[in-house]
Structure 1
Amino acid sequence: MDPLQRYRALPIVVAEAAGDEPGLAPMLARAGFRDVRTAASAAAVEAALREAWLSGRQDEQIALVVISSGLLGRLDGERAQRLGAMAEEADAALVLLGGDDPGGLDGMAEAWAAGVREILPSSLPAEDTLSRLAAVLAHQDEVRRLRRRERSLEGEVAELRVAENRLQHMVYHDELTGLWNRRRLKQAVEVAILRAATLHRECALILLDMDRFKFLNDLEGHEAGDRMLVEVGRLLRRHARPGDTVARVGSDEFVLLMENTAGDEALGRAEGIREALEANRFRYGERYYRTCASLGVVDLRPDAHHLQTGELLARADQACFVAKERGRNQVHRYQESDPGLEPLRRDHLWAPRIRDALEQDRLFFCYQPIVRMLDGTVSHYECLVRMRDSEGRVHLPGQFIPVAERTGLIQQIDMWAVDQALDLLASLPAEQSQVSISVNLSAHAFRTRELFDLIVRRLEMAWVSPTRLVFEITETAAIENMERSRELVARLRALGCRFALDDFGSGFSTFNYIKHFPVDYLKLDGSFIVNINRDRTDQELVRHMIAIARSLGKQTIAEFVESREIHDTLRELGVDYVQGHYLGVAAETMEAPTPHAAVRQGAMSSLFRAPAPLPRTFDSDEGH
């Protein structure tokens, strides 16, 4: 096999001084080398090596530089070594083509010092010259292969080191903002607690929670939200002092830990941060947004050495909760006896009770009749949920529904209510096959498909007519997510279910779009009903709401009808249906209400049989 076959395409530079007898370049050309370049000076050799190296192309890299002894001999030692180093850097073998005695180069040692790999006497026959060049090229090919592998390994090691450093950074830093994360903050708080106790220095911690951050995320997308968080992080850095710890501990929550800072000073700094955020305008595209936040401040006193990190952060979170409850964009300082923490304490007390009631099947319905004003008959019954605790006490919705909404348990109650209502309709005897019931739904029910899927599935299983099912949603819940609410209402009405908009009139801003909201009934807010005979304004408002409902083709239901006088006034105003203690209290059985004289417009008929005696009655608690 021809030993030169695999090298004939490699670039080779032959450098000979003026006056040298040209012989090697033609010899290589005759031997089949296709890329032989000539140079007449060391500078030309360096230029050729540099150009090939800068090209970055593998097929352009020079494999061999053959330089005549006459040319190399004109260079001083330093320049010769520089040329050799450049060839070495370019992975090119340097070969000396000289006389039979290279002593003119100040000896063999100087030639090797210049980086020469091989010396070819000029008197060497062409065949031997080519054979020795083939050996040099083979050796250089192996050297280049090893160097490429070495460089690759070095690159891999460098990448591993970068990845390791990145991982070490991520252990204690927030990836988005570059601030410390919760893990690092916990360590800093532990140290601060220890220093406060041993050095008798006060510390303080500020928890910052962005106000309405979800609104920006939903409107502009997560990229906009991320950019705002980065801006907030920079603002906090600017307000931090040497020794302070700034961390991002949640999606839109930040913490500033301040050592050697008294409570009043911490309050002042928190207020400064709040004002700076409020003054800032976050720009995304062509829109500007306010960057407001609620801030909770908690003191760490020297005598609080027993305090744990988690407890300190919990107190800051509680103070921040109070700031949000009081209107957002505020600073609040934690106090043990703070009345603003009552909702949190109530949640802590009631959430386990609600979970237990769900698991032990201690929720139940009470039924309150809704009466048609035209003839005094019962149109349908509203299912009002009650909770019986482990000791048998019954609790009204106002005691546990707000807690369920804050703690996320409301979804389970919604699903239970729908399930229970359909079970009830399926179990009624034939003579009550026309009974309709209404079920209250929370705003959460409109956020997912689960409820719709459950209703469709249960209607098919129970063989219950969808027209017997009325769902009530409060005006506030409808406003919260108008598009999704409208979509779900339309889909359920397409099945045959009916809808009532509860507490209608509590938000007059809805009057503009109520014409597009697909409900069957408008349930007038009870606050307008209870004083309708004593407050002329309420009476006029109710009159106008009834007119609006009629113009939209919707019927009206008035709740909180507690007296004959209220009933008569509502009849004069043209309300379609009435509900309240005057007509029937909420009871655990469905029964025809005892007709009062005021509603005897004829024989008040019922769709139901006489009920069994009631074991317990309840005050009306519309809404669930």
Structure 2
Amino acid sequence: MTPRPPASIHAWEVLADARVLAVAATAGADDPLLALLRRCGFAAVRHTARGAEALAQLDADTDVILLDTVLADMDAAEFCERLASRPQPPPVLLMLPAAAARGARPVLPEGVADVLPRPLREVELAMRVSVAARLRRERRERHRREIELQAAAQERSRLRGLLLRREGRDTLTGLYSRRRFEQALEAAVLAVGAGAAPIGLLVLNLDRFRHLRSALGQRGAERLLHEVAALLRAQAGADGLAAQLEGDEFAMLLHGCTPAQTFERAEALRQAIAQLALDAGGEDWSVSASIGVAAVDAQAGAEGSLARAQRAAYVARLRGGNMVHRYRADDRELADQRAHAHCSALLRQALASNGFQLVFQPVVRIADLAVDHYEALVRLVGEHGELLPPGEFIAVAERTGLIHDIDRWVIGAAIDFLQRISSVRSQLALNINLSGRAFQDDRLLPFICRKLDETGVRAERITFEITETAAIANVEATREMVAQLRQLGCRFALDDFGAGFASYSYLKELRVDVLKIDGTFIRNLADDPMDQVLVRSMVDIARALGKQTVAEFVGDQRTLELLGHYGVDYAQGFYVGRPSSALLPRRLRLTRN
């Protein structure tokens, strides 16, 4: 016999097919709760006295859980905690004693949707269970529809992407893809070669796009690309073709446009992009672009024409960005770029094939002209066997990140040299220059330690040199590296001392052993009273601090004698010895010049 709802409520108000799970300590065949639910009109009722069994019976179709405060194996709080870990759990109606339900609102476990006071009343039970079950089913239906809508949206996006790809368009911006653009450019080259009207070509790069992407986030960056793409389409018009080559690099073909007309349209595009304003976390970000302009050239071909526009955009970016630049073969920046690429390739080859060489310049003790120190200087072996000084390749090495490999090569070669010469010049010491980026290399210190262990060279035979400019660029890192190298037993020299405005103040920060007085104070020392005053002051400071001094760029006997008179410890320069692969005798013999 089908249960009938209470006579006091309408039959349509009771959700008779609601699936109810009753979890009560009194569960059993003669459970009054089960009988009451059936009298309310609910036919699909399961019941148990144990929380674990109830959780095992739980399925996606369960509409409502009626829960006692205390079960045979756990309390209501533990049951609700376990239930919360299930995906989309059904609502819980907690049955409380009447006194607890009427008093101050109790702290309810998570997941409890309503409270039913005991003893349960038939009408109230029927209504609350029905309402909770309807809400549960509405939520399930809404969730199902959301999933269907998401699936439909994904399918529409997939189909749109498929259509765009078939048309050769980028799926994000709707612009033509690189492949489609290159095909159009090939056709343009053929047309120009056959005598058609001129065709303009431009390449656009967004300035500081990495920073913009970090500030705007992924969605904000995509929105920016959409807006730029819309401006490109508008500027291309019916006679042009706009494409997204890669990331923030765009390109456009303009049929029938002379170089001057292409430049004008590129400038209009630049101004339109500059009007874009984006908000990132309450902060306004301006947008700008570097645009390169070139003409489609039949002789240069498609690849060459595109490369010209890209190089022009590169020059625009080097000159500060937010500008249009027309390609010129004699642009200084392009010549620098070619030289940079050539030098970079040469450096990589040298690192792979031991294409560097050390030369040694003597550092002479002024008091007795003893030669027991040399500065190891690196040279790059050129394509024709010539030795290139650091000034011709260090800047490129720093920009390409190869400087760390070169630092380690120089140190390794210098220590190997000390090992080879130990049998005849066991007291000879080397000064080794560290680049300004050396302190950024976490592998440098372990490399030095390993090299000293492998060769057995005493650390005190090595003095590392760092320029004052590089040292003060990161005082904290310099201080830490100096301390670690001195702990090994190595010495440290501050090169180009006096060249900076704060030279003396940094002597307090850095525990160096030697000050190398900058050559600008030494070149004209014999004839410049101001240089003489400054050099004497540097020597006095060094002596007071217990540091040795070396004078660089010593060019004549008069200068050497003055330095000895001032108390400078060592001299270095062409007068006492030029850089060479050969070493001098242990004591120098000089002739007056």
- TM-score tier after normalising by the smaller chain length: 0.5 to 0.7
The AA in structure 1 aligned to 2:375 is E
In structure 2, what is the Cα distance between the partners aligned to 1:242 and 1:191? 19
Could you tell me the percent identity over the aligned residues?
A: 33
Alpha-carbon spacing, 1:202–1:361, altered in 2? closer, same or farther (3 Å)? same
1:385 shift after superposition: 1.5
Name the counterpart of 1:203.
200
Q: Over residues 197-252 of structure 1, what are the superposed CA-to-partner deviations in whole Å (9 max), with x where a residue is unaligned? A: 536343232444646x88x79xxx955797996797588568646155475846xx
In structure 2, what is the Cα distance between the partners aligned to 1:458 and 1:408? 22
1:368 shift after superposition: 0.6
The answer to whether the aligner puts 1:242 opposite 2:239 as a matched pair is no
In structure 2, what is the Cα distance between the partners aligned to 1:323 and 1:305? 21
1:595 shift after superposition: 2.7
Name the counterpart of 2:572.
579
In structure 1, what is the Cα distance between the partners aligned to 2:535 and 2:575? 19
In structure 1, what is the Cα distance between the partners aligned to 2:367 and 2:422? 27
Alpha-carbon spacing, 1:203–1:533, altered in 2? closer, same or farther (3 Å)? farther
The answer to whether the aligner puts 1:298 opposite 2:293 as a matched pair is yes
Unaligned runs of 5+ in 2: 13-31, 42-59, 66-137, 237-241
The residue correspondences of 1:93-112 to structure 2 (distance < 5 A) are none
Q: Which moved more, 1:292-301 or 1:463-472?
A: 292-301
CA contact (8 A) 1:209 1:320 kept: no
CA contact (8 A) 2:231 2:273 kept: no
CA contact (8 A) 2:169 2:180 kept: no
CA contact (8 A) 2:3 2:40 kept: no
Q: Secondary structure at the match of 1:358?
A: helix
The answer to whether the aligner puts 1:411 opposite 2:404 as a matched pair is yes
The residue correspondences of 1:136-215 to structure 2 (distance < 5 A) are 154=148, 157-158=151-152, 161=155, 164=158, 184-185=177-178, 187-188=180-181, 190-192=183-185, 194-195=187-188, 198=191, 200-208=197-205, 210=207
In structure 1, what is the Cα distance between the partners aligned to 2:553 and 2:379? 18
Q: Over residues 84-130 of structure 1, what are the superposed CA-to-partner deviations in whole Å (9 max), with x where a residue is unaligned? A: xxxxxxxxxxxxxxxxxxxxxxxxxxxxxxxxxxxxxxxxxxxxxxx
Alpha-carbon spacing, 1:16–1:298, altered in 2? closer, same or farther (3 Å)? closer
Alpha-carbon spacing, 1:30–1:561, altered in 2? closer, same or farther (3 Å)? closer
Q: Secondary structure at the match of 2:329?
A: coil
Q: Secondary structure at the match of 2:449?
A: helix
In structure 2, what is the Cα distance between the partners aligned to 1:469 and 1:152? 72
Q: Secondary structure at the match of 1:188?
A: helix
The residue correspondences of 1:535-574 to structure 2 (distance < 5 A) are 542=535, 554-571=547-564, 574=567
In structure 1, what is the Cα distance between the partners aligned to 2:174 and 2:266? 19
The AA in structure 2 aligned to 1:595 is R
The answer to whether the aligner puts 1:487 opposite 2:480 as a matched pair is yes
- Of 432, 438, 447 in structure 1, the residue corresponding to residue 431 of structure 2 is 438
In structure 1, what is the Cα distance between the partners aligned to 2:563 and 2:488? 32
In structure 2, what is the Cα distance between the partners aligned to 1:266 and 1:550? 68
CA contact (8 A) 1:243 1:258 kept: no
Q: Over residues 48-105 of structure 1, what are the superposed CA-to-partner deviations in whole Å (9 max), with x where a residue is unaligned? A: xxxxxxxxx965479xxxxxxxxxxxxxxxxxxxxxxxxxxxxxxxxxxxxxxxxxxx
The AA in structure 2 aligned to 1:596 is L
In structure 2, what is the Cα distance between the partners aligned to 1:365 and 1:61? 84
CA contact (8 A) 1:381 1:437 kept: yes
Q: Which moved more, 1:489-498 or 1:571-580?
A: 571-580
The answer to whether the aligner puts 1:307 opposite 2:302 as a matched pair is yes
1:360 shift after superposition: 3.1
The AA in structure 2 aligned to 1:489 is V
CA contact (8 A) 2:277 2:284 kept: yes
Q: Secondary structure at the match of 2:234?
A: coil
- Number of aligned residue pairs: 471
The residue correspondences of 1:54-93 to structure 2 (distance < 5 A) are 59-60=62-63
In structure 2, what is the Cα distance between the partners aligned to 1:497 and 1:318? 47
1:345 shift after superposition: 2.0
Name the counterpart of 1:595.
589
In structure 1, what is the Cα distance between the partners aligned to 2:505 and 2:219? 35
In structure 2, what is the Cα distance between the partners aligned to 1:529 and 1:388? 30
The residue correspondences of 1:523-538 to structure 2 (distance < 5 A) are 523-533=516-526
- Of 442, 453, 468 in structure 1, the residue corresponding to residue 446 of structure 2 is 453
In structure 2, what is the Cα distance between the partners aligned to 1:493 and 1:241? 63
- Of 352, 357, 370 in structure 2, the residue corresponding to residue 364 of structure 1 is 357
Alpha-carbon spacing, 1:426–1:31, altered in 2? closer, same or farther (3 Å)? closer
CA contact (8 A) 2:205 2:290 kept: yes
In structure 1, what is the Cα distance between the partners aligned to 2:556 and 2:436? 31
Q: Secondary structure at the match of 1:585?
A: coil
In structure 2, what is the Cα distance between the partners aligned to 1:281 and 1:482? 39
TM-score by length of 1: 0.59
Q: Over residues 263-291 of structure 1, what are the superposed CA-to-partner deviations in whole Å (9 max), with x where a residue is unaligned? A: 445656767788899999999889x8997
The AA in structure 2 aligned to 1:471 is F
In structure 1, what is the Cα distance between the partners aligned to 2:566 and 2:559? 11
CA contact (8 A) 1:383 1:437 kept: yes
1:551 shift after superposition: 6.6
The AA in structure 1 aligned to 2:417 is L
TM-score by length of 2: 0.62
CA contact (8 A) 1:282 1:291 kept: yes
1:417 shift after superposition: 1.0
Q: Secondary structure at the match of 1:434?
A: coil
In structure 1, what is the Cα distance between the partners aligned to 2:534 and 2:4? 96
Alpha-carbon spacing, 1:364–1:206, altered in 2? closer, same or farther (3 Å)? same
In structure 2, what is the Cα distance between the partners aligned to 1:161 and 1:532? 81
In structure 1, what is the Cα distance between the partners aligned to 2:487 and 2:344? 36
The answer to whether the aligner puts 1:34 opposite 2:37 as a matched pair is yes
Name the counterpart of 1:259.
254
Name the counterpart of 1:66.
none
Alpha-carbon spacing, 1:273–1:425, altered in 2? closer, same or farther (3 Å)? farther
CA contact (8 A) 1:501 1:523 kept: yes
Alpha-carbon spacing, 1:306–1:484, altered in 2? closer, same or farther (3 Å)? same
CA contact (8 A) 1:11 1:61 kept: no
In structure 1, what is the Cα distance between the partners aligned to 2:148 and 2:201? 48
Alpha-carbon spacing, 1:477–1:282, altered in 2? closer, same or farther (3 Å)? farther
